Chains A and B, each alone.
Chain A
């Protein structure tokens, strides 16, 4: 499948709220994963 067709078909499929998104025209699926950023707020004092 060429790029522009791929773009058009995927655009209509993508749904961030789904946990798993099946792509009907191929054996590829999208698995949604969760992440929690652990970066604490390091205070970068600068310029005095």
Chain B
């Protein structure tokens, strides 16, 4: 069920009207713009870095200095590409507290287990509770978009890039999960040389905990966890479109292998071994969403764990609101991004 501001009456006493909004009706998701940070004033560039963001992001703001730093220190263009139904691929209302408040109140009243519900996460929480398959279908659409973009760049079909440009990836959080799936599948050999730098990501889905006021509420997370950890196993026993896709399509197979340690373990371990030198990962000691130990486990130890001398979270590794922390945050940011720039240079 999705809520739209058009359903909000100025009359505060009005009861919000909810309606099932098919994903295909969300036009923002189909035609959108994305920013590319470039250094210098050339007509064409080489070797872009694709920067992929985290779950439930509605704005590029957090990522602007990340992209700027990578562009400045590698000299390479940095593409900020939005995942399906995120950033500017989602209705503006989803990031509007005033528009989301009635939906939040409705959810808190009707979903008693929706702990951590907030106006920031209520749109995503409601959508995933309504249909947990959206986690997969949105990821699938994002993967195909990225494959098409990287293919365009490689084939000389992108206006900003020289033909045969190699694309590398900087991926954060769920963007890391998506990148791993694409790299494992390696469609058309497009990612055979791609280097992947992951930050606060890298583990299989089963080790993640997405319950956060900034990501999704408990009701939504419990729903997708049950769906992908339990219901999917039952579905795999049948021959239906979803199970067929997960069994026979390379992206579907890779997605399934990244759901839990036990799924296609030999395939996953073998592929990560093959790609070991092309993957670099930084985890954070206090990351509760994608725990460091599970990223180490997934990548067979091919990761490093950092810790910062201030209070941080997975969602906000570099807080900007406390002025007294500025020197520490600046240093922490430099420690991560200098490593990323060196790897991707």
- A residues whose Cβ falls under 8 Å from a Cβ of B: 2-4, 6-8, 10-11, 14, 16, 21, 23, 26-39, 41-47
Measured between beta carbons, the chain A residues less than 8 angstroms from B133 are 44, 46
Q: Is the CB of B69 within 8 A of A6?
A: yes
Q: Assess the B36–A2 pair: CB atoms within 8 A.
A: no
A14 touching B334 by the CB < 8 A rule? Answer: no
**Chain A residue contacts of B326, Cβ below 8 A:** 2, 4
Nearest chain A residue, comparing its CB with the CB of B29: A37
B335 to chain A, nearest CB (A): 11
Inside 8 A of A6's CB, which chain B residues have their CB? 64-65, 68-69
Taking A30-B35, A36-B31 as given, write out 9 further A-B residue pairs in contact, using a Cβ cutoff of 8 Å, ordered by the A residue number: A16-B88, A28-B71, A31-B38, A33-B79, A34-B31, A35-B34, A37-B141, A39-B84, A44-B137
- Chain B positions within 8 Å of A, measured between CB atoms, are 23-24, 29-41, 60-61, 64-65, 68-69, 71-72, 79, 81, 84, 88, 133, 136-137, 140-141, 144-145, 148-149, 158-160, 231, 235, 240-243, 245, 318, 320, 326, 329-330, 333-334
Min Cβ gap A4→B in Å is 5
* CB contact between B64 and one of A4, A7, A31, A46 (< 8 Å): that residue: A7
A2-B320 Cα distance, complex, nearest whole Å? 12
Q: Measured between C-beta atoms, what is the minimum distance from B153 to chain A in Å?
A: 11
Chain B hits for A39, CB < 8 A: 84, 140-141, 144-145
Inter-chain contacts of A23 with B (CB < 8 A): 68
Q: From residue B33, how far is it (CB to closest CB) to chain A in Å?
A: 5
CB nearest to B136 among chain A residues: A44
Q: A6-B68, A41-B23 are in contact. Are A33 and B33 (CB under 8 A)?
A: yes
CB within 8 A of B68: which of A10, A36, A45? A10
A37 touches B64 (CB 8 A): no
Chain A nearest CB: distance from B43 CB in Å?
11
In the bound assembly, the distance between CA atoms of A13 and B146 in angstroms comes to 27
Contacts of A38 in B (CB 8 A): 144, 148
Contacts of A26 in B (CB 8 A): 68, 72
